[in-house]
Amino acid sequence: MEYAVAVAGGGAAGLAAAVAAARALPGAEGKIIVLEKNPRVGKKLLMTGNGRCNLTNRAAGERGFHGDAALAAEVLRRFPPERVLARWEEWGLLCREEGGGRFYPQSGQASSVLDVLRFQLGRFGVEERCGAAVRGWRRERGGFRLETAQGPFFARRVILAAGGRAAPKTGSDGSGAALARQAGHCIVPEFPTLVQVRTDPEAVKLLKGARCAADISLFHGERLLRRETGEIQFADGCVSGVCAFQLSRMVSEWVSTGRAAGEAAPGGLALAADLLPAHTEEDIFVWLARRAREFPSLPGAELFTGALHKRAGQEIARRGGFSQRPLGNLRREELRAAAARAKRLEFPARGVFSWEHAQATAGGVPLEETDPRTLGSIKQPGLFFAGEVLNIDGDCGGFNLHWAWASGWTAGEACAASLRKGRGAC
Ligand SMILES: Cc1cc2nc3c(=O)[nH]c(=O)nc-3n(C[C@H](O)[C@H](O)[C@H](O)COP(=O)(O)OP(=O)(O)OC[C@H]3O[C@@H](n4cnc5c(N)ncnc54)[C@H](O)[C@@H]3O)c2cc1C
């Protein structure tokens, strides 16, 4: 069977690209196919935003992207958040804004996003072929012959949207990069991002299960690399939560390249939590001194009770070595050190958790090997890229899906335009 367009990968970017191509190619019913290796399309999409799908962010485009972000500027300018939301509404999805400029489907269900995409695929006669992992390709008759788990397919244009390596159980296991290599592309080394930061297990043992509002900073020695405000969570051997996820990119890059924020970073990195960002160290000291005066017989572990998450207070007491001593026994300098720890509770950043735990992939096909207006390959005419397979990754908060839509729509529309130009391929 011969197709006008084959999309390799039925995730967010691939489905968006297929719909965009189909809408821009009148009369292409039955000529566009999505080749997906899983038994169903959109497996990862259903897991996004804890099943609620944070599908874009009001700030997407102005900030929030890494990797070849400068080269992606044209695509991001064409699809600012307002346009992304308007298109979703046109396609049948109503959205609402929550804190931090995050947009979710009005329904509160990621499945609504997938449903709407699949309604569009059906409306424009796009074929979904599941269980059809693309294993390789070669050029043939001015197009591509794709070898898949269901035999060969021929297509005039191919959109590679097979994702990165994050959460490989959802299907994105790095085969997108392998297929790009086969087409002659380089791959910027990949590393996991938006993932838990590994730390000394002893440093978080007492804190396990605690969630704290904090300012959290990443330091190399005394050099501040990045600061985030929000919530951190503690689990076995790691610091987690949105803030830690945002900082994880730098830790992960440092692990894989030895560099942090563009500079060689020998030694190590550390996360530091300011657990009382609205208070000065002096205010905290005064408060602690009063607590010790008023309740001299309470154990040291209760010093911060009422001010911090109980386990955070216990950890500060443990680090100060006074958990069991009565508050009335604590010296002034011990109270000062405890106040300082509440402002800067440190956790060595030893690395990050593995691909299985990551939400996104840094690295991939460099944008300089594509036309930044179309995301078409400069090495293989007729090949386009969309989504996480490219060397772009975003912050937590809807930025990665924003890129999936913007790049998918760009590649889909450009692919259709190239077919319209080239003697009516349909
Ligand atoms: C738990 C979790 C939560 C997340 N939450 C959010 C969120 O709320 N907001 C946000 O912006 N981002 C979120 N992300 C990130 C976001 O989901 C991804 O950036 C986005 O899905 C990438 O889209 P994609 O289409 O490029 O890749 P994917 O969604 O990974 O899709 C790639 C598809 O290609 C298929 N495939 C792979 N290889 C082949 C092959 N050889 N042949 C055929 N098919 C193949 C895969 O099976 C998969 O279906 C989350 C990620 C995870 C893991």
pLDDT tops 90 at residue 204: yes
Give the pLDDT confidence score for residue 426 in this predicted structure: 36
Domain span at residue 212 reads 196-352
Residue 426 lies in a domain: no
Please list the residues that pair with 181 across neighbouring strands. none
Instruction: Determine the residue of 148, 165, 173, 401 to mutate for testing ligand 1's pocket, defined as the one with the most ligand atoms within 8 A of the Cβ atom.
Output: 401
Ligand 1 centroid from CA 172, angstroms: 6
Share of residues in the chain with pLDDT > 70 (%):
99
Which DSSP state fits 297? T
Residue 22 lies in a domain: yes
Instruction: Determine the residue of 172, 385, 402, 405 to mutate for testing ligand 1's pocket, defined as the one with the most ligand atoms within 8 A of the Cβ atom.
Output: 172
| DSSP secondary structure letters along 51-107 | HT---EETTBTTB-EEESTTTTHHHHHHS-HHHHHHHHHHHT--EEE-GGGEEEETT
Residue identified by tokens 């599908």 is 55
Give the pLDDT confidence score for residue 406 in this predicted structure: 98
Ligand 1 centroid from CA 195, angstroms: 15
Integer CA distances (angstroms), 142 to 33, 145, 157, in order: 18, 10, 9
Q: Which residues contact 331 (CB under 8 A, 6 or more apart)?
A: none
The binding-site residues of ligand 1, defined as CB within 6 angstroms of any ligand atom, are 8-14, 35-38, 43-45, 47-49, 53-54, 133-134, 161-163, 166-167, 170-172, 175-176, 359-360, 387-388, 398-401, 404
Residue type, 97: E
What does the pLDDT average to over 112-127?
Answer: 98
Q: Judge if 157 and 202 occupy the same domain.
A: no
Ligand 1 centroid from CA 154, angstroms: 25
Name the helix (H) or strand (E) containing 283.
helix 281-294
Q: Which of 195, 54, 137, 162 is nearest to 390 (CA)?
A: 162
Name the helix (H) or strand (E) containing 136.
strand 134-140
Q: Ligand 1, closest atom to CA 56? A: 11
Q: What average pLDDT is seen over the chain?
A: 96
Ligand 1 centroid from CA 175, angstroms: 13
pLDDT tops 70 at residue 104: yes
Asked which of 326, 352, 378 is the last residue of a domain, the reply is: 352
- Nearest CA, atom 13, ligand 1: 48
Q: Judge if 239 and 131 occupy the same domain.
A: no
Q: Judge if 240 and 255 occupy the same domain.
A: yes
Q: Ligand 1, closest atom to CA 166? A: 53
Q: Judge if 140 and 267 occupy the same domain.
A: no
Residue 257 lies in a domain: yes
Per-residue pLDDT of 231-279, as tens digits, reads: 999 999 999 999 999 999 999 999 999 998 888 889 899 999 999 999 9
- Nearest CA, atom 35, ligand 1: 9
Give the pLDDT confidence score for residue 425 in this predicted structure: 39
Q: Judge if 48 and 161 occupy the same domain.
A: yes
Residue 254 CA to residue 249 CA, distance in Å, equals: 8
Residue 216, exposed/middle/buried by CB under 10 A (0-12, 13-18, 19+)? buried
Per-residue pLDDT of 80-99, as tens digits, reads: 999 999 999 999 999 999 99
Ligand 1 centroid from CA 285, angstroms: 48
Residue type, 67: G
Residue 243 lies in a domain: yes
Instruction: Determine the residue of 55, 246, 359 to mutate for testing ligand 1's pocket, defined as the one with the most ligand atoms within 8 A of the Cβ atom.
Output: 359
Q: How many domains does the chain have?
A: 2
Ligand 1 centroid from CA 388, angstroms: 7
Residue 111 lies in a domain: yes
Give the pLDDT confidence score for residue 141 in this predicted structure: 87
Asked which of 327, 352, 377 is the last residue of a domain, the reply is: 352
Tokens of 293: 């005066």
Integer CA distances (angstroms), 71 to 77, 271, 374, 406, in order: 11, 31, 12, 13
Q: Judge if 185 and 67 occupy the same domain.
A: yes
Per-residue pLDDT of 36-71, as tens digits, reads: 999 999 999 999 999 999 999 999 987 899 999 999
Per-residue pLDDT band for 337 (boundaries 50, 70, 90) equals: very high
Q: Judge if 156 and 229 occupy the same domain.
A: no
Per-residue pLDDT of 381-391, as tens digits, reads: 999 999 999 99
Ligand 1 centroid from CA 106, angstroms: 21
Instruction: Determine the residue of 40, 48, 242 to mutate for testing ligand 1's pocket, defined as the one with the most ligand atoms within 8 A of the Cβ atom.
Output: 48
Q: Judge if 50 and 154 occupy the same domain.
A: yes
Name the helix (H) or strand (E) containing 159.
strand 151-160
Residue 345 lies in a domain: yes
Q: Ligand 1, closest atom to CA 407? A: 26
Q: Ligand 1, closest atom to CA 401? A: 11
Give the pLDDT confidence score for residue 423 in this predicted structure: 52
Per-residue pLDDT of 286-299, as tens digits, reads: 999 999 999 999 99
Q: Which residues contact 301 (CB under 8 A, 6 or more apart)?
A: 313, 314, 317, 318, 323, 324
Give the pLDDT confidence score for residue 62 in this predicted structure: 76
Asked which of 352, 383, 401 is the last residue of a domain, the reply is: 352
Question: What pTM, to 2 d.p., does this model score?
Answer: 0.96
Give the pLDDT confidence score for residue 424 in this predicted structure: 43
Q: Ligand 1, closest atom to CA 386? A: 26
Per-residue pLDDT of 129-155, as tens digits, reads: 999 999 999 999 889 999 999 999 999
Give the pLDDT confidence score for residue 38 in this predicted structure: 98
Q: Judge if 36 and 62 occupy the same domain.
A: yes
Q: Judge if 366 and 282 occupy the same domain.
A: no
What's 81's domain CATH number? Answer: 3.50.50.60
Q: Judge if 327 and 247 occupy the same domain.
A: yes
What does the pLDDT average to over 339-367?
Answer: 98
Q: Judge if 239 and 306 occupy the same domain.
A: yes
Q: Ligand 1, closest atom to CA 48? A: 5
Residue 282 lies in a domain: yes
Ligand 1 centroid from CA 401, angstroms: 9
pLDDT tops 60 at residue 421: yes
Per-residue pLDDT band for 162 (boundaries 50, 70, 90) equals: very high
Residue 180 lies in a domain: yes
Q: Ligand 1, closest atom to CA 13? A: 25
